[in-house]
Structure 1
Amino acid sequence: MAEVERLTLQRETWTTDALIHRIHRTDVSPERFNPGDGRGRFHPLVTLSAPVRAIPTLYGGSSLIGALCETLFRLEPANHRGPFPVPKKRALQFAYATLRPTRSLNLLALKGDNLRALGLMRSQLLEPGPAHYSRTAPWASTLHAACPDADGLIWRSRQHDESECLVLFGDRVGEAELVVTEQMSFEPPHGWQTLLVAAAQAGFVITES
């Protein structure tokens, strides 16, 4: 921890005119943070000092495809070849929204010089699939503790390199600071067609079973 705290790590600013594209479960509101359930690339996020507690997180992206790749499409193994199948039943458990932050967000960039300073490569932190989340998630807790001014992390999507992905720290960004500007269900016909087009562009296929 002390070594990370001594590093000078670059930040990126997510401005108030840049929308956050979010894929969320249909049973929660678009701006709701994950309280610590399940496992992801950078969660569960926890405090490193006692008492240990979970810190809520919210994933998003700079585009619909980027957001899909961090949620609905994230189960694709890193070495998969060809269109990856996603069951329709699973897809319809999610919906799409865009969020506008009411203030600029200060995000720690997981790329370039920062990765080199941390002694990491993309292949270690950003490209491994779900089987490696137990190894990648603790980095979020380390960086959260070492960088108290950071509102979250930002990186280039492993599955769609034209998109940025981000995770926000729920103890530094409040739900009231994220305004829902658009919501869409993936139920047919309109939302379903939007999902099918995005899936095809990202190299996925929605299957009936």
Structure 2
Amino acid sequence: MPIAVPTPPLNLNKLVRRVSWPKADIIHRVHPDKYLADQFNPGPAGNARFSPILDAKGNSIPTIYGGTTFDCAAMETVFHDVPFAPGLKTHAKRKLKAHHYSQVLSVADLTLAELTTTSLRKLGIKRAELIETEKNIYPQTRAWAEAIHAQCPDIQGYTGYRAKMIGPWRLSCSATGSAPARSPSTRPQSISWPMSPLTQTS
């Protein structure tokens, strides 16, 4: 039976717990090579849990994702659909082509919404309803990303599931060189490598 995700409350700004991503912490990214290390995905293409998303006027909100480690970034992107079940797992190398692994440093601390099990309970939603849903439920989970963006102008992203993640929205002040609303356009330090050399075996 399909999950019915609760509607986001109208007082998220009071309910959402904020945590900080220090500017000294590396942001690890795995991304299509058509994007630079610090470049937002402009939308509206894609089908992720929290992107693409729209503002109140129907305009796309550019997004960017990263993690605390390479493993986190890879598992949330190129290895996202590898099953968790025990046993042998295979993954076609062709799926790694046209992807880069990048490291980005922010130029300021980031304020993120915490989406851990405990924090979600305060928001009136269960982990299974927001973080552990299948892809067919993503349009409903994206409504929460849109609501947090609309109601919490200080929040620049989110964290708290599987491993620390950032994105989407207001990260040009720290993690990208793009310039969405309410963000200065300061470019960060970044470095990136093609994925293929990282996956070659002898």
Q: Show the 5 A alignment for 1:83-122.
A: 83-122=88-127
Q: Say whether 1:123 aligns with 2:132.
A: no
Match of 1:156 among 153, 161, 167: 161
Matched residue type, 2:49 = R
Letter in 1 for 2:37: P
- The residue that corresponds to 2:147 in the other structure is 142
Q: In the superposition, relative to structure 1, how do residues 164 and 178 fare at CA in structure 2: closer, same or farther (>3 Å)? A: farther
| Residue in structure 2 matched with residue 166 of structure 1 by the alignment | 166
1:60 and 2:66 correspond? yes
Q: Does the CA contact (< 8 Å) of 2:113 and 2:158 recur in 1?
A: yes
What is the Cα deviation at residue 19 of structure 1?
0.6
> Tell me, which stretches of 5 or more residues in structure 1 are unaligned?
158-162, 197-209
User: More helix by proportion, 1 or 2?
Assistant: 1
Measure, in 1, the Cα distance between the counterparts of 2:33 and 2:125. 35
Residue 107 of structure 2 aligns with an amino acid whose one-letter code is T
Fraction of identical pairs, as percent:
27
Structure 2 residue identity aligned to 1:41: R
Offset from partner CA, 1:49-108 (integer Å, 9 cap, x none): 2x211100001100001001111112245x645344322111112110000000010001
C-alpha spacing 1:39/1:178, structure 2 compared with 1 (3 Å): farther
Partner of residue 44 from structure 1, selected from 52, 70, 76: 52
TM-score (norm 2): 0.80
- The verdict on how the C-alpha distance between 1:64 and 1:41 changes in structure 2, with shifts beyond 3 A counting, is same
Matches within 5 A, 1:155-194: 155-157=160-162, 163-170=163-170, 173=173, 175-176=176-177, 177=186, 179-188=188-197, 191-193=198-200
Q: Could you tell me whether the CA contact under 8 Å between 2:15 and 2:123 is conserved in 1? A: no
Contact kept in structure 2, 1:75 and 1:129, CA below 8 Å? no
Q: What's the RMSD between the two structures over aligned residues?
A: 2.3
Structure 2 residue ranges without an equivalent (≥5)? 1-7, 178-185
What is the TM-score when the length of structure 1 is the normalising length? Answer: 0.78
User: Which structure shows the bigger proportion of residues in strand conformation?
Assistant: 1
Matched positions, count: 184
